[in-house]
Amino acid sequence: MWKDKAIAHIDEIRNLVIDVSKKMFENPEVAFKEFKASRRLADELEKAGFAVELGVAGLETAIRAVHPAESDGPSVAILAEYDALPEIGHACGHNLIGGAALGACLALGRIKEDLPGTLIFLGTPAEEDIGGKIAMVEAGVFRDVDAAMMFHPSPGYTVVGRQGLALTEVKIEFHGKSAHAAASPEKGINALDAIIQTFNGINALRQHIKSTSRIHGVITHGGVKPNIIPDYAAADFYVRAPDDGYCAELVKKLENCAKGAASATGANLNFKIIEPSYQSRKMNKAMGEAFVKNLESIGEPLTDLPEGSGGSSDIGNVSQVVPAIHPYISICDASVAGHSKEFAEASISERGREAMIAAAKALAMTAIDLFTDSDLMEQVRTEFRG
């Protein structure tokens, strides 16, 4: 009965949800600059009677909105993302994530007086940067949350249990000595050579790391002119692995590659780990199975999980402190790459909109399961504690 009502409510507000998502797409805002998106989401929640706080955890565009019909029972949070990527806009589909979370919470809000527990909307900025969820975890925003969930659009697959990699960002700098590259190169110490040797060391290392892990980087500074030996060079790296411990091992191996390059060239090394790091994802199977049943009941079957290790997200940090799920729903063909212009186009397509509406319904239905099925909630808690 409650699920049917939630589905009907989402169908009623379908155009509103689509419009909110469309406005996000047309006004892409990068990490910590999501002023229009966060304000629009907050406004819609306030209109629906939620107690809204904009600017939680010291993040100007983070949202915590609680439905006033609170009672004994589990506290369920539905998470929204809404930051875009530089230059290519919503090429990760966060406009659809924000729309789905809003739709689910507005629909649940219509029936919340009949349901136990507490309903929370959490707007989490800067997923594509330092991870707003990490700051929110550290500020205690998730302290009283019993279950957290969100959805993410994907290219060609609809799955629930896909792994997420731990991620540590590293900045490497080399300081050398400038000299004329033709007249007196022997008097210089080439910092760019040290960067290149670091990359060469990593490439040699690849044979000896697990296939599910990644080390990838870009040179951010390589010199000024070809006739000047670069006295400064820098690169940024991402180190990813399926678990936090192995990620730390790979960071150490990367540092050894950089130390070897420093020794070979004579340049001075500055090796800096950028905090915070994204933790590996701990998805809750009991909650995930409930989501699958709800998704399939509205005609969205699962597909095969593609080969590959997946990406990283700050939902991993959330999943370490509270039971969580992060299912994916297809919005385009598998040939389309995430973080591409084609994926951005898919996030405003009819297929993308339908996936968003389906996600809103499945999120709302799963929240209803958690509110009303004490056995399921106990399974979720037991699995998380185990």
Q: Sign of dihedral through CA atoms 374, 160, 295, 147?
A: positive
Give the residue numbers spanning the domain of 49.
Answer: 2-163+281-385
Over the range 158-186, which residues count as b (16 or more CB within 10 Å of their CB) and which as e?
bbbbbbbbbbbbbebbbbbebbebeeeee
**What pLDDT is stored for residue 274 in this prediction?**
92
Among candidate residues 278, 310, 328, the one where a domain is terminated: 278
Range 38-57 average pLDDT? 98
The percentage of residues in the chain with a pLDDT greater than 90, rounded to a whole number, is: 89
Alpha-carbon gap, residue 45 to 33, rounded angstroms: 20
Cβ-in-10-Å burial (0-12, 13-18, 19+) of 35 comes to: middle
SS3 category, 77:
strand
Alpha-carbon gap, residue 142 to 98, rounded angstroms: 19
**What pLDDT is stored for residue 307 in this prediction?**
64
Alpha-carbon gap, residue 66 to 147, rounded angstroms: 14
Verify that 150 and 50 share a domain, yes or no.
yes
Verify that 9 and 99 share a domain, yes or no.
yes
**What pLDDT is stored for residue 129 in this prediction?**
84
Verify that 305 and 375 share a domain, yes or no.
yes
Verify that 27 and 84 share a domain, yes or no.
yes
Q: Is pLDDT above 80 for 216?
A: yes
**What pLDDT is stored for residue 35 in this prediction?**
98
> What is the tens place of the pLDDT at every residue in 83-108?
999 999 999 999 999 999 999 999 99
Range 288-309 average pLDDT? 86
User: 14-26 vs 350-372: helix axis angle to the nearest 10?
Assistant: 120
CATH of the domain at 243: 3.30.70.360
The kind and range of the H/E element at 119 are strand 118-123
Among candidate residues 229, 258, 278, the one where a domain is terminated: 278
Task: Locate the DSSP E strands across 190-267.
Answer: 214-221, 232-241
**What pLDDT is stored for residue 386 in this prediction?**
86
Verify that 241 and 297 share a domain, yes or no.
no
DSSP 151-174: -EEEES--BS-----EEEEEEEEE
**What pLDDT is stored for residue 285 in this prediction?**
95
SS3 category, 51:
strand
**What pLDDT is stored for residue 302 in this prediction?**
87
Verify that 156 and 9 share a domain, yes or no.
yes
Verify that 192 and 332 share a domain, yes or no.
no
CATH of the domain at 333: 3.40.630.10
Verify that 256 and 268 share a domain, yes or no.
yes
Tokens for 277? 């790091």
CB atoms within 10 A of CB 72: 7
pLDDT band at 275 (very low <50, low <70, confident <90, very high): confident
> What is the tens place of the pLDDT at every residue in 345-375?
999 999 999 999 999 999 999 999 999 999 9
Which amino acid, one-letter code, is at 8?
Answer: A
Verify that 67 and 40 share a domain, yes or no.
yes
What is the dihedral angle through the alpha carbons of 63, 69, 70, 74, rounded to the nearest 10 degrees? -80
* Residue 337 DSSP label: P
Contact call for residues 224 and 230 (beta carbons, < 8 A):
yes
Verify that 16 and 110 share a domain, yes or no.
yes
pTM score, two decimals?
A: 0.89
Verify that 102 and 201 share a domain, yes or no.
no
Verify that 138 and 238 share a domain, yes or no.
no
Average pLDDT for the chain: 95
Among candidate residues 262, 278, 294, the one where a domain is terminated: 278
Which range, of 196-205, 214-223, 277-286, 297-306, averages the lowest pLDDT?
Answer: 297-306
- What's the domain count of the chain? 2
Nearest to 113 by CA among 371, 290, 363: 371
